[in-house]
């Protein structure tokens, strides 16, 4: 019953906002259109702005629960699936999500509310990333950079879908996250190339040693993957 009432209030609010504008619509207008009293509205939504973001807290909890099951070894999967939870929520909302998008573009208080919610996601993702990275070099910085990248990738795809610019937002999100998560894997030192070791004794001319190194490098089987050629110069006599 409560969920049904909430849905009626949200639908009524979105319809009225489209018809007469956000500022010109009162809580009383919304309650009357939904067929409930003013008190019923305030039992469910503290302010008129809250009816525009009715499921935000619950969605944030779902995302947090998914991230909480992640580990350092499964960090990438956890981030991808947590982002997918948010996208799936908006896709399920359909036209309501598009109405919200239009409102937040034109109503400053709603835009500020949206930005505040983005920051909450940033803090949530950063918190888990920091725990997963542990004592890795520059862990705090990497956690914040990765969290920002994931949220930016998700929001880019979401906006594209809201504007009707993509027909497959799930695939678009997967591709965007591939770009966003390129810095998550720890950096590895570059492996050295083929090594030539020259061991020489005596006072042999440098040019002679260089010549022997050249011949060793050009000899069959001395290329990369064929071991380390070793040149030894011994004194005559």
Same structural domain for residues 158 and 77?
yes
Same structural domain for residues 69 and 26?
no
Instruction: Kindly report the average pLDDT of the chain as a whole number.
Output: 86
Q: Tens of pLDDT along 152-176?
A: 999 999 999 999 999 999 999 999 9
Average pLDDT over residues 199-216: 64
**pLDDT over 90, % of the chain:** 73
Q: What is the pTM of this model?
A: 0.75
Is the pLDDT score of 189 beyond 50? no
Domain count, the chain: 3
pLDDT computed for residue 217 by the predictor: 64
Same structural domain for residues 78 and 114?
yes
- The range of the structural domain enclosing residue 32 comes to 1-46
pLDDT computed for residue 220 by the predictor: 61
Same structural domain for residues 90 and 158?
yes
Those residues with Cβ within 8 angstroms of residue 5's Cβ, 6 or more apart along the chain or in another chain: 34, 36, 40, 44
Alpha helices (runs of H) in the chain, residue ranges in sequence order: 2-20, 27-34, 38-44, 56-68, 75-93, 95-106, 108-133, 139-162, 169-180, 206-218
pLDDT computed for residue 235 by the predictor: 46
Six-digit token pair at 147? 């969290």
The CATH number of the domain holding residue 19 is 1.10.10.60
Q: Residue 186 falls within a domain, yes or no?
A: no
Is the pLDDT score of 111 beyond 70? yes
Same structural domain for residues 65 and 166?
yes
pLDDT computed for residue 231 by the predictor: 43
Choose between 188 and 134: higher pLDDT.
Answer: 134
Euclidean distance between CA atoms 112 and 97, whole angstroms: 17
């Amino acid at each position: 019953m409560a969920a049904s009432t909430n849905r009626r209030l949200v639908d009524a609010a979105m319809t009225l906002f489209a018809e007469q504008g956000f500022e010109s619509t009162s809580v009383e207008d919304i309650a009357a259109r939904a067929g409930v009293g003013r008190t019923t509205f305030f039992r469910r939504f503290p302010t008129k702005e809250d009816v525009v973001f009715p499921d935000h807290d619950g969605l944030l909890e779902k995302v947090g629960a998914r991230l909480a099951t992640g580990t350092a070894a499964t960090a990438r999967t956890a981030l991808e699936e947590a982002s997918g939870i948010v996208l799936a929520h908006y896709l399920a909302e359909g036209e309501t999500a598009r109405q919200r998008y239009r409102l937040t573009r034109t109503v400053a208080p709603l835009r500020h509310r949206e930005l505040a919610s983005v920051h909450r996601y940033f803090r949530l993702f950063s918190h888990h990333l920091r725990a997963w990275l542990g004592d890795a070099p520059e862990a705090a910085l990497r956690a914040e950079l990765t969290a920002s990248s994931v949220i930016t990738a998700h929001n880019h795809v979401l906006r594209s879908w809201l504007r009707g610019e993509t027909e497959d937002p799930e695939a678009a999100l997967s591709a965007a996250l591939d770009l966003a998560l390129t810095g998550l894997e720890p950096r590895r030192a570059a492996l050295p190339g083929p090594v030539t070791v020259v061991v020489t004794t005596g006072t042999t001319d440098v040019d002679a040693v260089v010549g022997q190194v050249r011949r060793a490098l050009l000899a069959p089987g001395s290329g990369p993957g064929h071991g380390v050629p070793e040149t030894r110069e011994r004194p005559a006599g």
